Amino acid sequence: MGSSFTHRIRVEAHAVWLAVRDPRTPLLAKLVGLLVAAYALSPIDLIPDFIPVLGLIDDAVLIPAGVWLFARLVPPALLAEHRAAAEAASARPVSKWGIAIVIALWALIAWLVFEFLMLGYD
């Protein structure tokens, strides 16, 4: 499962999320799409990714199965429109400053937690 598979899953999940927010999407499809998008975009997996082989099964099976079901519930042209928008969004450049700021904030939080925990050992 290379980066192209991961890229495709991310684009599909984003397309589902965009379609869920579209008023032209039928209600049942919105419900299924919310579950698919929430699971695909969630940092929590049914099977954690660090478990060899099994950890990737949810990404390789559950998400594509959910996208397949969602695709059966929406008009093909509607999903194609949102897939194109999701693909275009994935091609945008990544902000290196944004990444640096997030990493700096996490480092600051980790340092503050460490300092707080060390107060009891003085």
Residue 8 banded pLDDT, cuts 50, 70, 90: confident
In this prediction the pTM is 0.65
pLDDT, tens digit, for every residue of 13-24? 889 999 999 999
Q: What confidence category does residue 76 fall into, taking pLDDT thresholds of 50, 70 and 90?
A: very high
Angstrom distance (rounded) from CA 71 to CA 5? 18
Handedness of CA 96, 59, 82, 88 (dihedral sign): positive
Residue 96 has pLDDT above 60, yes or no: yes
Q: What percent of the chain is predicted at pLDDT more than 90?
A: 36
Give pLDDT, residue 1. 46
Residue 110 tokens read as: 């980790």
Domain boundaries defined on the chain = 3-91, 94-122
- Cβ burial, residue 34 (10 Å; 0-12/13-18/19+): middle
Q: How many CA atoms lie within 13 A of 68 on its CB side?
A: 6
